[in-house]
Amino acid sequence: MNPTVCYRSFTPDLEVRSGGDGRTIAGIAVPWQIPKRVTSQLREQFAYGAFPRQLRAPHRVRFAREHVDLGGTLIGPTRMLRNDASGLYGEWYASKTPMGDETLELVKDGALYQLSVGFREAQNRHLGDGTVERVSADLFEVAVVQEGTYGDDAAVIEVRSMADALDQLLTPNLDRARQLVLAAFLPLPPPPFG
C-alpha cells in the first residue's frame, strides 16, 4: 500500500538579512502540537520530532516556490533541519535562478511569508478530541507559498547570507578561541621541583 501524499502550509516569520549573498531563507516549516482544521473531516497536528529521517539527510528535501507536483518550481536545496521547541526549523538556499531571485525579493518585501510541507504519512495517532496527530511522516518538500494551512504558525523567520551563518557558527566558540590564543602567548609555568 502506498502512503498518502499530503501538503500542509504554515505562516512562519520570514526575514531577509543584508550582507553576504543573502540567499538563505530560514523558518519554522511545521509547528508542533498546534491542531488545525484541514478539511471538514480532518483536524490534525504534528507531534514533536515527526520527521526523524529527514534530520539526518536534509539535502533530500527539495525547496520550492509553491509545490512542484502541484505546478510549482524547484528553487534550491534544504541546507539544514532541526527540531526546535516550536516546530521543525529549517534553512533553505534559493538558487540564483529567475524564480529563486523573484522568490527572495517577494520574501524580503513581505509578499510571500508562508511555508508549506509535502509529506507522506507514516504513523498517526487519533486523539480523544478527534484530532489526527502525525507521529512520524516522510518530508519530501518545503515550499514558499501564498497561502498556507497553518497560516502564521509556519513562516519564514529570515533570509540571511553565508557570512551571517558563519558568524552564528563562530560566535559561541569565540571565548574558547580567545583562551587558546592567550594560552599560546603566555609563558609556561616553571617545572615542578623534583
Average pLDDT of the segment spanning 16-22: 57
Average pLDDT of the segment spanning 88-103: 95
Over residues 46-67, the pLDDT tens digits come to 999 999 999 999 999 999 999 9
> Residue ranges per domain, the chain?
5-161
The yes-or-no verdict on residue 94 having pLDDT over 90 is yes
Query: Which of the two residues, 152 and 181, has the higher pLDDT score?
Result: 152
CB-based contact 1:120 (threshold 8 Å):
no
Query: What per-residue confidence (pLDDT) applies to 38?
Result: 87
Under the banding of pLDDT at 50, 70 and 90, the label for residue 156 is: confident
The yes-or-no verdict on residue 96 having pLDDT over 90 is yes
Query: What per-residue confidence (pLDDT) applies to 21?
Result: 72
The yes-or-no verdict on residue 153 having pLDDT over 90 is no
Over residues 118-151, the pLDDT tens digits come to 999 999 999 999 999 999 999 999 999 987 666 6
Under the banding of pLDDT at 50, 70 and 90, the label for residue 184 is: very low
C-alpha cell belonging to residue 124 = 498517526
